[in-house]
Amino acid sequence: MDALGLGPFLIGWLELAVRWFHVIAGIAWIGSSFYFIALDFSLKKRDGLPDQAYGEAWQVHGGGFYHMVKYLVAPARMPDELTWFKWESYATWFSGFALLVLVYYFNASLYLIDPNVVILSPVMAITYSLIGLASGWLVYDLLCRSPLGSSVWGLGLGGFVGLVGASYGYTLLFSGRGAMMQMGALIGTIMAANVFMVIIPGQTRVVADLIAGRRPDPGIGARAKQRSLHNNYLTLPVVFIMIANHYPMMFANRLNWAILAVVLIMGALIRHFFNTRHQGQPSPWWTLGASGAGAIVIVFLSWQGSNLAQLEQRAASFPPVEAQALAHAVIETRCVVCHAAQPVWADLSGPPKGTRFDDPTLIESHRQKIADWAVATHAMPPGNVTDISDEERVILANWLRNSKVEGVMP
């Protein structure tokens, strides 16, 4: 494809449009799911409720009062009209998958593959990614249906170990960024498949039974509840992964999988805080304290897993002007093929993220970004396609440390 042609330009717009849609669908899905969880927990039993009713809640919103009544299995008579909640989840998954294809599969050599991890062809990387998504769901679904599935804690622990193991495994196969996004896609797929393969089919069966005058199997509701509990606890981590792919100190980090493990625990703790609160019980403040401790652990892990600790030890000292000239030469040889007004790298229609280094003043004005993406971490060059060496990163570190922003231009 002609890098400066209409094609990449249109793909850029398509990506933005799909991303917009994906975020909105995700808001609708997570919003309705948070709403129903809070509603569920706020239900109160009282005398005089209709038969089969489990509890009721009164709510006020948007200028009106709502009287919600929950029927555990189903009401005695089916209402004529029933609103289903499923398209929020399906639309989030489809748009997310489209984004995965547009961003990660179309640019597999930049985002998915790191030849320093494993040399893969784009087709192989994409195949592994797809197999990972499908098999991840199958393993999870089997776990839920296995004897372990009857223990909330056993299954929770098994699921946690499985997810952390998967994310560690993916870091041995993909680039840091690819591995983390693969985890986001995997968790998102499990959540959407829970809706599509378990929750909605179960509910459809209950409705059909009721219409036919059969007594629905209460096990169906129990299974749906298990899956929706998992979705509840996975919501915060999955959103974290989706936004963390813009932060190299998370994804381009040797310990990214361990950071994700802490995020999984923090996400569950924070959800637990709100779940308990919505049940009208005393707020478990300890969960917020523990999440705060988790945040400190994450910062520690990301410092340890970055290059900063080693660079500190290897710092040699160059006179500032020399450091600057050397550093600019590194940027010109390793970065400017892509980060220029007219990139030479195939398939780039313009400088990535509008970030250009084809002029010394531009390099100087992007010092912090260069530090974050190419020195503190190995996020750039992607998959080290331009073969930057560790020595060159040390040169960049010296320049960043020693020369002032207003330093002499080479």
Q: Cβ distance 88 to 28 under 8 Å?
A: yes
Stretch in the footprint of ligand HEC (CB under 6 A) among 13-21, 196-204, 300-308, 337-345:
337-345
Q: How far is the CB of 110 from ligand HEC (least distance, A)?
A: 5
Q: Does residue 373 interact with ligand HEC by CB under 6 A?
A: yes
166 makes contact with ligand HEC (CB under 6 A): no
Residue 11, both tokens: 């793909």
Rule CB under 6 A: choose which of 345, 350, 362, 401 binds ligand HEC: 345
**Rule CB under 6 A: is residue 45 a binding residue for ligand HEC?**
no
Asked if residue 397 binds ligand HEC (CB under 6 A), the reply is no
> What single string gives the DSSP state of each residue in 361-378?
HHHHHTHHHHIIIIISSS
Residue with tokens 């890098």: 3
Q: Which two tokens stand for residue 286?
A: 């300890």
- Bridge partners of 69? 56
- Min dist CB 376 to ligand HEC, Å, is 11
Question: 26 or 382, CB closer to ligand HEC?
Answer: 382
DSSP state of 379: -
Segment interacting with ligand HEC, rule: CB under 6 A, options 82-90, 189-197, 212-220, 373-381: 373-381
d(CA 135, CA 166): 11
Q: Per CB under 6 A, does 355 bind ligand HEC? A: yes
Distance CA(240)–CA(225), nearest Å, equals: 24
Nearest alpha carbon to residue 374 among 359, 365, 384, 362 = 384
Amino acid, single-letter form, for residue 31: G
CB-nearer residue toward ligand HEC: 173 or 370: 370
- With respect to ligand HEC, which residue has the nearer C-beta, 277 or 369? 369
H/E element, 381: none
The residue among 183, 182, 171 whose CA lies nearest residue 118 is 171
Give yes or no for residue 384 binding ligand HEC (CB under 6 A).
Answer: no
| Residue with smaller CB distance to ligand HEC, 159 or 382 | 382
Q: Binding to ligand HEC by residue 100, rule CB under 6 A?
A: no
In the complex with ligand HEC, the residue whose CB is nearer, 331 or 397, is 331
Q: For 44, left (φ over 0), alpha (ψ -120 to 50), or beta?
A: beta
Other CB atoms within a 10 A radius of the CB of residue 354 amount to 7
User: How far is it, in rounded angstroms, from Cα 131 to Cα 35?
Assistant: 33
| Nearest residue (CB) to ligand HEC, 42 versus 386 | 386
**Residue 249 near ligand HEC by CB under 6 A:** no
Site size toward ligand HEC, by CB under 6 A: 22
Closer residue to ligand HEC, CB minimum distance, 8 or 162: 8
- Segment 104 to 163, residues that bind ligand HEC, using CB under 6 A: 110
Which residues make up the interface to ligand HEC (CB under 6 A)?
110, 246, 331, 334-335, 337-339, 345, 352-353, 355, 369-370, 373-374, 380-382, 385-386, 388
